[in-house]
Structure 1
């Protein structure tokens, strides 16, 4: 058994080393080199197979099948590897280029070889859907016809971004188009068996994880029982942990230099009147304030800009473009996009997008993307390009759909921007009002006649109300949305919860050590704070649900906000039996609120490419970021233990207590990371036709999961039974998280390198 154990874990160590070296070689020699010489090589496949086989034999030898949930969990990984092996043997991917009216029965695989299809495929029509008012492609739609060789079966289909067409076990994905717009570029995937096996493995993995937490005999449940019954804790260590934790937060936000001149803006009150108008935005009628807020967050990352309201920012671009075009207000997350724009900081101005000869600096990169070619940090460049196009659409008024119109029969209601092509049947008076109203507003702004501006805006709103009637949201829903837009306190509340939670954790542990009762006054204060947070979260959830007219659980932001609300609610019920639920409630609430903010950092201004609208993507990000937060807490525990070990005598009890906390957190952290990785794989398969592409970020996420999974095997790896080794491991292992989240972005690149925002 010892030999099997050593072989299994040694092979795993070799595998981790190879994966690490591969990401470095990819940076030096390129993606094609590592794909050909490592990821697709026979020795690499043999290494995976040998590791899986040795692990399976070791599990059987240890009779791990008696612990059926744990055995099922490990078996799911082996099944996933079997699916990947079948894909490697039998699957094939390639590219198919079609011209309008052209018929073909072949495609080019990734090796450059021509492969024959068991059917013919022809392109009947191709359409590029542009962002309104621009020539920036938003989606590509191919309409095709496929026919079997004997013409016994023929089928028409449509392929667009995130809309797959399947026929005879072949799947087609829209990936690009010809430069002249007369042809399409399709990705082809043929994997009749591997995907089914892999998805079965994913399903078993999810079920086994759920059963593991429910199983009373699982290690996690045993740790929970041991933790509840434990009457000893830490004293000095908690104080050190508090200082270390608090030191990770900035003491203040960056303030704008006092002598920095702000661009021209409307007075706050006048700009606010613009926010009172209605607008058709994201396929719904809402306050223009909502659009202004999302526009500002989209560009700058925050709902305000150095004291200016979002309405002032929006109207500044509308009416004072020459003043705003030099303002570094566009946040560029991608390092590659910054290099192309030749900027040093995180923010760019509109002028930074133009070269010395007035050429568009991202034009060549976007052309390569539209042709379906792979370039460095594609998504980061697309995001920067999108922000530039959004400013263009705002400044031309293309996104300002504030003029409603009903047809002569009064049945159809359409919303138009000033620059839109208006219907021929529109009356002269309405036509003139739609075309000229904003121009007249602009004239009054130039003359600084803001009272007249307010009067004109009231007139536009009255026109909206008269034309739309009951189609407009109710006055209460309109006010509720404006009120909701003012609720922007997630970050300070999150940090407050984390700090209070850590203080409460220290206090409750010290009371346990000294066997003292919890101070009633302090417990009351904790509950009062929890109650205040609960009321705030309840208001935001109710307002968002009332405004959207559905249960606010449709994306990652809403889900994490709801999770924070549930956490606080459960804390009230659990604290009588489990006193540490109070500090844990604060901590988990703070973590979930921080994670929820990732869903609000890139608001949907225009219709996003469908691939980015998938709920799988939101779940993937939420799971990964929650896992990283928990692993960070383990790292802080480790630092505390190391400091205690070298600075305090007789600290074994405290160090042991910290290990129990970390081991308790490690299980949900690793499992959340695992779930996040494989949900991301499903999303990638649905969106791009492959569930794993060996992108550096994917590889390092896998490395992180495997490294931390080692600590879940103290029965096999005896070093993890020793508290100090466990804590040092927790510190060192966190380097994999830092490399995954930051190192890949700044050093290794890849398709995910935009994600550092």
Structure 2
């Protein structure tokens, strides 16, 4: 029988959790300097760290039993599920075995695999590789999946396949696709043996998900006792302008647009040449058009009128240091600025430069020069598909590429000289004939590549997307409207006034805004063939849609919901635009092609959106508090944040553990102490504290709660931005 008084066990639990958070924060910082093996050894595998989890769990159980909280079945099951998950993790840590096995098609069956500490572990059966193949996205050489066919000799021969996100199980052992040999005759499989730990952990997940879902229907829960309202803040507007100049020659807009209809192998997929033109112009100049010229005009201008464009100052150089190296004044350089009396200026400077920042800046400038050079030589324009019989897919060639010897003479001549004919017609300014020749190349592509080309729906969707996806104006619009709504409503609260007319106008503006952003997401979905949640740009779009949708649903209950929606949407779009105004749509890495990824990302992004609303409510409450004691309005904001808190935390928890299941299916481990995983856990623990108002009494104070929401949001910012741009890790792409 445990003798600890409830208050003592509560303090022990809170202290243990606080120490765990401090250790995890320290570990993620140390990992940046000392590396992953160091922190795994000295932090996450440290007996003290493991003991603290044990202490937190035992003291938490003791407190629940002493307070007889087990009478509230759903709440009790929710807490019990975490104990079960921790138990499963402990079993995995102590008894689980993980390692890898390398198989060759021409070798005898193997019965051992090597663990992480390079020890041999014997299997109760033997394994051999029957075959390995790489599957490709249609019409490209971009890998879609890696598939190993293996035979297990265990009394009888059992044949099975292992691929990304597809596990082969046998007698408690799980095999995952990990790597392959360059010659395609060997495969490396990750092996895991942890039947009890996984069973216990997954049982905890199931209990947790069920109890979280049922919690919202529990009559006596804190969530059911609360009602809503919400508020906002912030803006960073800017205006850009540029002076006109005499432009180098380009193709007519219509002719350049026809070039945009060519298919091209770009970023590992088949896309309209228009997409390459936009990416090219943004990379070189920083925007998707130049001095009123379309991206297609810029691309084809550089290609057909190189002698003129090499003297055009359109290469953006942000670094003052590189500007000095090139000998230019201002941000824009010409191609000729890169060449000096001793050759390529950047190469000469890189030979002696020691500063890492300067080296990176020089390399970025050199990359732009190389990109233009690749275009002007034709190497960038991989527009000719040739079927590769060995790989069973198409390889796309540019004019200068070495063509396979097996290609027919007629096809060889067309690939070698068709673009020369186009160049001749351009030089003669016979643009009508130019367009006809481009159409011939398009028909060649359709004849050769056939069904491997993107469908007409995908092609048209991408053309529409390229014309729509400019988020700068929309971000500025949302931020401006949100700021106006925020100031207006705070003023009305302070002056005790109501003006429903303006609120109604702002509300109706939500609909076209939602339609525009949702349209961009839908188009990216059609183009890519997967739910667009694979990078930071796409998750910010999801966050924008979530915040607007939230405002539309709760606008009658929450005074500032419209302002909140516009502000968070604008900030999300601004972040997307600042990171990369329109990043390339690429095929998913094989391991990312899982529906669990979409659920994982969307759950977490919705929770972050809700935490942002709570943070803005807190700032609004702080403003009201400092303008005079407006306790009723502050209390209203508190209630709205309280009701948001529960789904926000639960969605974060759900997203974290769905991500753990996905990681286990993909890599054979459901937790790897990656910095993003750790910071998501830290964020979950921090916000979970606010759910325990019966145990942590300070959270009952409205202003304490609001200030907590403001400060706690720092952990969200670090989780999403800090890890991506500073700490790094496997999740830094997200």
TM-score range, shorter chain: 0.7 to 0.9
Alignment-derived partner of residue 357 in structure 2 = none
Alignment-derived partner of residue 52 in structure 1 = 57
Aligned match for 1:30, one of 29, 35, 59: 35
Aligned match for 1:482, one of 437, 460, 463: 463
Q: Distance in 2 between matches of 1:696 and 1:571?
A: 32
Aligned match for 2:274, one of 260, 284, 289: 289
| Contact 1:298 1:601 (C-alpha < 8 Å) held by counterparts | no
Residues 276-328 of structure 1, C-alpha deviations (whole Å, 9 max, x = no match): 34568899987543564567679999755776534346546766899799987
Alignment-derived partner of residue 194 in structure 1 = 197
Alignment-derived partner of residue 368 in structure 1 = none
Q: Post-superposition shift, 1:693?
A: 0.8
Instruction: Label 1:305 to 1:33 Cα distance change in 2 as closer, same or farther (>3 A).
Output: farther
Residues 79-122 of structure 1, C-alpha deviations (whole Å, 9 max, x = no match): 22122112112211123234452332212211221111122223
Alignment-derived partner of residue 669 in structure 2 = 690
| Contact 2:663 2:670 (C-alpha < 8 Å) held by counterparts | yes
Q: Post-superposition shift, 1:183?
A: 4.3
Alignment-derived partner of residue 658 in structure 2 = 679
Q: Post-superposition shift, 1:191?
A: 1.8
Does 1:155 pair with 2:158? Answer: yes
Instruction: Label 1:701 to 1:537 Cα distance change in 2 as closer, same or farther (>3 A).
Output: closer
Q: Post-superposition shift, 1:706?
A: 0.7
Q: Post-superposition shift, 1:528?
A: 4.2
Does 1:609 pair with 2:612? Answer: no
Residues 378-421 of structure 1, C-alpha deviations (whole Å, 9 max, x = no match): xxx9xx99x9999979976687446699x9xxxx9989655596
Instruction: Label 1:524 to 1:730 Cα distance change in 2 as closer, same or farther (>3 A).
Output: closer
| Contact 2:136 2:393 (C-alpha < 8 Å) held by counterparts | no
| Contact 1:264 1:320 (C-alpha < 8 Å) held by counterparts | yes
Q: Post-superposition shift, 1:488?
A: 1.8
Q: Distance in 2 between matches of 1:119 and 1:283?
A: 40
Alignment-derived partner of residue 375 in structure 1 = none
Does 1:621 pair with 2:621? Answer: no
Instruction: Label 1:711 to 1:495 Cα distance change in 2 as closer, same or farther (>3 A).
Output: farther
Instruction: Name which of structure 1's ranges 309-318 and 594-603 shifts more when overlaid on structure 2.
Output: 594-603
Q: Secondary structure at the match of 1:666?
A: helix
| Contact 1:563 1:592 (C-alpha < 8 Å) held by counterparts | yes
Alignment-derived partner of residue 251 in structure 1 = 238
Does 1:122 pair with 2:128? Answer: yes
Instruction: Label 1:355 to 1:669 Cα distance change in 2 as closer, same or farther (>3 A).
Output: farther
Q: Secondary structure at the match of 1:155?
A: strand
Q: Distance in 1 between matches of 2:376 and 2:709?
A: 49
Residues 210-237 of structure 1, C-alpha deviations (whole Å, 9 max, x = no match): 333344543233221xx47xxxx9xxxx
Alignment-derived partner of residue 418 in structure 2 = 437
Alignment-derived partner of residue 370 in structure 1 = none
Q: Post-superposition shift, 1:567?
A: 7.8
Q: Post-superposition shift, 1:77?
A: 1.9
Does 1:106 pair with 2:122? Answer: no
| Contact 2:385 2:395 (C-alpha < 8 Å) held by counterparts | yes
Q: Distance in 2 between matches of 1:394 and 1:81?
A: 59
Q: Distance in 2 between matches of 1:118 and 1:674?
A: 38
| Contact 1:122 1:145 (C-alpha < 8 Å) held by counterparts | yes
Aligned match for 1:11, one of 16, 28, 31: 16
TM alignment of 1:368-517, pairs within 5 A: 400-401=382-383, 417=397, 429=410, 432-445=413-426, 450=431, 452-461=433-442, 482-490=463-471, 492-501=473-482, 503-504=484-485, 507=488
Q: Distance in 2 between matches of 1:186 and 1:320?
A: 52
Instruction: Label 1:17 to 1:527 Cα distance change in 2 as closer, same or farther (>3 A).
Output: closer
Q: Post-superposition shift, 1:45?
A: 2.2
Q: Distance in 2 between matches of 1:206 and 1:217?
A: 19
Q: Secondary structure at the match of 1:246?
A: coil
Q: Distance in 1 between matches of 2:522 and 2:544?
A: 14
Alignment-derived partner of residue 276 in structure 1 = 261
| Contact 2:138 2:452 (C-alpha < 8 Å) held by counterparts | no
Instruction: Label 1:128 to 1:720 Cα distance change in 2 as closer, same or farther (>3 A).
Output: same
Residues 425-472 of structure 1, C-alpha deviations (whole Å, 9 max, x = no match): 96x655533442123224545676655533422444466678999999
Alignment-derived partner of residue 510 in structure 2 = 530
Aligned match for 1:735, one of 710, 714, 721: 714
Q: Post-superposition shift, 1:717?
A: 0.7
Q: Secondary structure at the match of 1:694?
A: coil
Q: Secondary structure at the match of 1:3?
A: helix
Q: Distance in 1 between matches of 2:332 and 2:666?
A: 30
Q: Post-superposition shift, 1:716?
A: 0.7
Q: Post-superposition shift, 1:501?
A: 4.2
Instruction: Name which of structure 1's ranges 696-705 and 489-498 shifts more when overlaid on structure 2.
Output: 489-498
Alignment-derived partner of residue 611 in structure 2 = 631
Does 1:668 pair with 2:651? Answer: no
Alignment-derived partner of residue 170 in structure 2 = 167
| Contact 2:600 2:659 (C-alpha < 8 Å) held by counterparts | yes
Does 1:705 pair with 2:684? Answer: yes
TM alignment of 1:721-732, pairs within 5 A: 721-732=700-711
Alignment-derived partner of residue 207 in structure 2 = 204
Instruction: Label 1:190 to 1:331 Cα distance change in 2 as closer, same or farther (>3 A).
Output: farther
Does 1:146 pair with 2:151? Answer: yes
| Contact 1:128 1:137 (C-alpha < 8 Å) held by counterparts | no
TM, length-normalised to structure 2:
0.75
Instruction: Label 1:167 to 1:390 Cα distance change in 2 as closer, same or farther (>3 A).
Output: farther
Unpaired runs of at least 5, structure 1 = 333-345, 360-380
| Contact 1:289 1:310 (C-alpha < 8 Å) held by counterparts | yes
Instruction: Label 1:44 to 1:265 Cα distance change in 2 as closer, same or farther (>3 A).
Output: farther
| Contact 1:141 1:174 (C-alpha < 8 Å) held by counterparts | yes
Instruction: Label 1:131 to 1:189 Cα distance change in 2 as closer, same or farther (>3 A).
Output: same
Alignment-derived partner of residue 87 in structure 2 = 82
Q: Distance in 1 between matches of 2:181 and 2:447?
A: 47
| Contact 1:330 1:349 (C-alpha < 8 Å) held by counterparts | no
TM alignment of 1:177-326, pairs within 5 A: 177=180, 183-224=186-227, 227=228, 245-247=233-235, 249-252=236-239, 268-277=253-262, 287-290=272-275, 292-293=277-278, 303-304=288-289, 309-312=294-297, 314-315=299-300
Q: Secondary structure at the match of 1:102?
A: coil
Instruction: Label 1:128 to 1:569 Cα distance change in 2 as closer, same or farther (>3 A).
Output: closer
| Contact 1:416 1:422 (C-alpha < 8 Å) held by counterparts | no
Q: Distance in 2 between matches of 1:143 and 1:429?
A: 39
Q: Distance in 1 between matches of 2:37 and 2:554?
A: 54
| Contact 1:133 1:393 (C-alpha < 8 Å) held by counterparts | no
Q: Post-superposition shift, 1:692?
A: 0.9
Q: Secondary structure at the match of 2:467?
A: coil
Q: Distance in 2 between matches of 1:246 and 1:67?
A: 41
Q: Secondary structure at the match of 2:607?
A: helix
Q: Secondary structure at the match of 2:127?
A: strand
Instruction: Label 1:495 to 1:72 Cα distance change in 2 as closer, same or farther (>3 A).
Output: farther
| Contact 1:635 1:730 (C-alpha < 8 Å) held by counterparts | yes
Instruction: Name which of structure 1's ranges 473-482 and 46-55 shifts more when overlaid on structure 2.
Output: 473-482
Instruction: Label 1:514 to 1:215 Cα distance change in 2 as closer, same or farther (>3 A).
Output: farther
State the aligned residue count: 687
Unpaired runs of at least 5, structure 2 = 1-5, 320-330, 339-343, 352-362
Q: Distance in 2 between matches of 1:712 and 1:705?
A: 11
Q: Distance in 1 between matches of 2:713 and 2:119?
A: 43
Q: Secondary structure at the match of 1:112?
A: coil
Instruction: Label 1:128 to 1:543 Cα distance change in 2 as closer, same or farther (>3 A).
Output: closer
Alignment-derived partner of residue 42 in structure 1 = 47
| Contact 2:531 2:598 (C-alpha < 8 Å) held by counterparts | no
Q: Secondary structure at the match of 2:158?
A: strand
TM, length-normalised to structure 1:
0.73
Instruction: Name which of structure 1's ranges 687-696 and 286-295 shifts more when overlaid on structure 2.
Output: 286-295
Aligned-CA RMSD value: 5.4
Residues 45-64 of structure 1, C-alpha deviations (whole Å, 9 max, x = no match): 22212211221222233233
| Contact 2:611 2:645 (C-alpha < 8 Å) held by counterparts | yes
Q: Post-superposition shift, 1:274?
A: 0.7
